[in-house]
Structure 1
Amino acid sequence: MNNFKILNITMILTLFMSCGSGSETGTPEEPNSQTISILHTNDIHGNYLPFTTTSGSATSQTGDPGRDTYISFEKDAEIGGFAVLATAVKEIRSIRGKDNVLLFDSGDAFSDDLLGNLTEGEAVVQMMKKLEYDYMALGNHDFDYGRGRTEELMKIAGFPFGGANITDKRTGKSIFGNPYIIREYQDTRIAILALGYHNTHLTGNPDNMKDLEFRRGDEVIKQYLPELKQQADIIVILSHQGTAIDRLTAKKFKDIDLIIGGHSHDVIDKPEKINSTYIVQSMSDAAVLGEIRLTISEKVLTGIEAENHFLWLSDFEKNPEMETLINSLREPHRAHLEENIATATAVIDRQYKSESTFEKLVGNLLREEYDADISFLPGVGYGISLYGDVTRENIYRLIPHSPKLATLSFTGEQVKALLEQTAANQKPMDKYEVVGGLLQSSGVSYTLDYGKALGKRISEVKVNGEELQSEREYRIVTHTGMLTGLHRYDELGRGGNIQKKDIQLNEFTLEKFKELGVISIPKNMGEVTIKGK
């Protein structure tokens, strides 16, 4: 049976915004019209293997009560991975006609995984090359191995990477010279403009981006629109700015026909329409393949159909050629990747906008090891849940990067200022200023009220059960990445008696999990109370 005919039966993801398995908007197809299909992925984060969903959770941004859009899986089953993604892409190309199908990615594709680290991103790029992607917008994590390595990976991929709002300071031009591409079908020309994440410089190692400047998308759209309107009939934005910014973009620019989103890991099945612009997005982790069918009459977009194909392994066979490629890439590293570290007796998940079970567990271990009052770790938006056997690569899916640990002293006043910063990061006055997830902590309890003014959102702060004292010094444990101003947490770099350790956070976590043998949900969950969402 054709997988795409039974999709509505097998897909059981619950959405509390943008629900439904597909939609049609606009006028019916006319006799002289043409249909062009666009397939799209976003935020793969190096997740090339299937993973098992868990009820209410599974990825870092499903089952998170802190998100504006709540997404929850309703069954425990295997989903995703490039072998089934390849099957879905091949089938759609066969149905629609390969020459009528484009394949795009909205960024954060090849990093955030142990095999990704071992191959500096090449493993997933080789898979993307085999799938014959047409274009990719550069996400913030696509610079995790440095600008130079990103360029090397683009050459390996054989398709362009772009970011119109990412300027190479050495040339003064858009990175890699691919701010947009033009594709022509019959007599219709489609322009696809790529936009990266404007706050990329606040989300990773600054040394990897020292030659780059990141600008707001609306600034460069204004610059490029006249040029695109001259060269194309249909204008598409391939965006790694997040849904909130995509909505602002649609409100501001009436000449954009379609925005294919990324960064916020949203599921937008029924295309949102703002003015004359449609917006779609397809979650993350190679678990979903988005499909858009554009109906064009006399060079004008007259209708759109869109749906998200959830890649349940029960519905899709693995493509044997892709499976062979994956095995060949894994084989030299298999023993290292699959080393068993511990057993999780309950679901240890990562949340992004609320307290994270995984970070709480790691934070508790850090506090114990370094006799600290409080641990602080960044709110991170990628990673999948741990349950059952936990391997080395499972841990690296959650902590792929290698900052070293650090301790420092902080006054109570500085603790409060840091907590106010995370409150501002999540809901600032200007949506372009949103960056990162909720600051993850252990040892400090507090109430965060988004209904209050900036700078006055944090109250009832206690450290290990005792009220915070402004002048008292507290011992803090964190990692060196946080000392560089990651997610605007500049206050940590101003702490006293900073001591950098010789062990990386991921290796520390791996060693401690191995010592424990069994891991479970920390007892001090619930230290943070969030109001006024």
Structure 2
Amino acid sequence: MEKIHLYHTNDIHSHLEHWPRIQQFLKQTREQHTATDEEVFFFDIGDFIDRWHPLTDATMGRENIHLLNENQYTAITIGNNEGVNLPHEALNHLYDGAHFDVLVANFYHQDGRTPNWARPYKIYQTRAGTKLGVIGLTANFSHLYGLLGWECTDPFLELKKWIKEVKAQADIVILLSHLGLGDDERMAEEFPELDIILGAHTHHMLEKGELIHHTLLGAAGKFGYYVGHITVEVNRQKEIANKEAILYEIDQLPSVENEEEQIQTYLDAGKNLMQNKVTTLDRPLECDPFKETKFTQILSQAVREWCDSDCAMINAGLLLGRLSGEVTEYDLLSICPHPINPCVVKLTGYELQKVLTESLDETLHNREIKGLGFRGTVLGIFVYDQIEFRSGTIFVGCEAIDQSKTYTLALPDMFTFGHFFKDVLPAKEKKYFLPEFLRDILKWKLEN
């Protein structure tokens, strides 16, 4: 039997506080397997970068690529944090210095060309001659990618396009899937050619994998809390005789010498790169998730002005700290780390009134949020610009709301993904403003 080891990480989201242990663990496992003449491959399944971390934001993810290089990763696929949260040129040059393969079969330039930094699949061969065909797919946020100058296509159609070509060349077919558990399970049902699916995106954790027919699914949760490991045994006929999946919990691994210093070094390096001055305040700007402050008013006004809309609303929980004195780019990242863009929705007066009335619900204000780009804790109250509530009447600008008139409302994009204001917003026409995050718009407002 030939024994092949596949180690995989996913959705680390720049949680570099876990990276020293992951790095040490992967280095040691490589040495152990090499000493016993066993094959080892390292894969990352996307969302390795996240611009909440100063080192990632300051370098547009390039330092994260350096970390993957140091660990001699074999191949990766991209996640939406690499794809949607970087400007076009930043993504187009993100992998210029990569020493690994970037595999993503459903991602193109808008003229249909595959980016020169990517390929749909690659065939790897072990010393014993076993061939591994590895394909990559990423989540199909086609509309957002279109706004950034890319084309992202249906992953199922792309897999159907490539799978037979890969199967004809490979003994083992592996999918790097930044699609989510539901799509992974569906792919295992629809594509029996797949031997292994390494998953991501929905932050699911499969402690011992999940077997669907003969396809083994593996996934390692989020934030680097786990590293996944799949062991494949192959007989002399190049057939899989056995495959098993396990997870290693990072907290249970040995600590690293000078671990805290290394983690702090990542933070300090990013902070030092973000010392560009934005403005100097003559009085502090305070924040409170449950109070309207001058600071939240400024952000709400900035969103409306940036989007040139009739009115705007933001949630006060977006601002995580105060600003005072000299304000740097790092300060703005610290108090507004969310990869959230503004969005404009067209609403009738009736629909706008319905949304605004719902936004007054205190239950909503106290809701704790995870995901959707939100990096805070609690949603907080809503703060409005060009919207007033007076004596039971809602005013937009200086006029009482007209039930039949059409208005444009600017708000953070997290409220348009179907988790909030479900009776109105999901079905409405939307215009997303990319690539600037809310903190970029706040910077623009403070500078001006």
TM-score, normalised via structure 1 length: 0.58
Structure 1 contact 373–443 (Cα < 8 Å) conserved: no
Corresponding position of 2:325: none
Q: How many Å separate the matches in 2 of 1:177 and 1:108?
A: 16
Is 1:161 aligned with 2:129?
no
- CA offset at residue 111 of structure 1? 3.2
- CA offset at residue 470 of structure 1? 9.5
Alignment of 1:86-125 (within 5 A): 86-97=23-34, 100-113=39-52, 114-125=54-65
Decide which of 110, 135, 145 is 1:193's aligned counterpart: 135
Corresponding position of 1:42: 10
**Over residues 319-347 of structure 1, what are the superposed CA-to-partner deviations in whole Å (9 max), with x where a residue is unaligned?**
6699659727833634958xxx99999xx
Structure 1 pair 272–342 and aligned structure 2 pair: CA distance change class (3 A): farther
Structure 1 contact 35–296 (Cα < 8 Å) conserved: yes
Corresponding position of 2:185: 247
- CA offset at residue 436 of structure 1? 5.8
Corresponding position of 2:199: 261
Corresponding position of 2:91: 150
Alignment of 1:150-299 (within 5 A): 150-173=91-114, 176-185=117-126, 186-199=128-141, 201-203=142-144, 206-208=146-148, 210=149, 212-297=150-235, 298-299=237-238
- CA offset at residue 366 of structure 1? 5.6
Structure 2 contact 41–74 (Cα < 8 Å) conserved: yes
Structure 1 pair 279–158 and aligned structure 2 pair: CA distance change class (3 A): same
Q: How many Å separate the matches in 1 of 2:410 and 2:297?
A: 7
Higher strand share: 1
Is 1:138 aligned with 2:93?
no
Q: How many Å separate the matches in 2 of 1:484 and 1:141?
A: 16
Q: How many Å separate the matches in 1 of 2:134 and 2:245?
A: 18
Structure 1 contact 375–442 (Cα < 8 Å) conserved: no
Structure 2 contact 140–152 (Cα < 8 Å) conserved: yes
- CA offset at residue 156 of structure 1? 1.2
Q: How many Å separate the matches in 1 of 2:58 and 2:199?
A: 29
Higher CA-based Rg:
2
Q: Which runs of 5+ in 2 are unaligned?
A: 276-283, 305-309, 322-329, 358-370, 384-388, 395-400, 444-448
Corresponding position of 1:302: 241
Relative contact order, higher structure (CA 8 A, sep 6+): 1
User: What is the root-mean-square deviation of aligned Cα atoms in Å?
Assistant: 5.0
Alignment of 1:72-83 (within 5 A): 81-83=18-20
Structure 1 pair 481–315 and aligned structure 2 pair: CA distance change class (3 A): closer
Q: Which runs of 5+ in 1 are unaligned?
A: 1-32, 51-80, 346-357, 420-434, 445-462, 511-533
Structure 1 pair 442–122 and aligned structure 2 pair: CA distance change class (3 A): same
Higher mean alpha-carbon deviation, 220-229 vs 189-198, is at 220-229
Secondary structure of the equivalent of 1:286? Answer: coil
**Over residues 415-443 of structure 1, what are the superposed CA-to-partner deviations in whole Å (9 max), with x where a residue is unaligned?**
76999xxxxxxxxxxxxxxx9699x7956
Corresponding position of 1:22: none
Q: How many Å separate the matches in 2 of 1:175 and 1:484?
A: 32
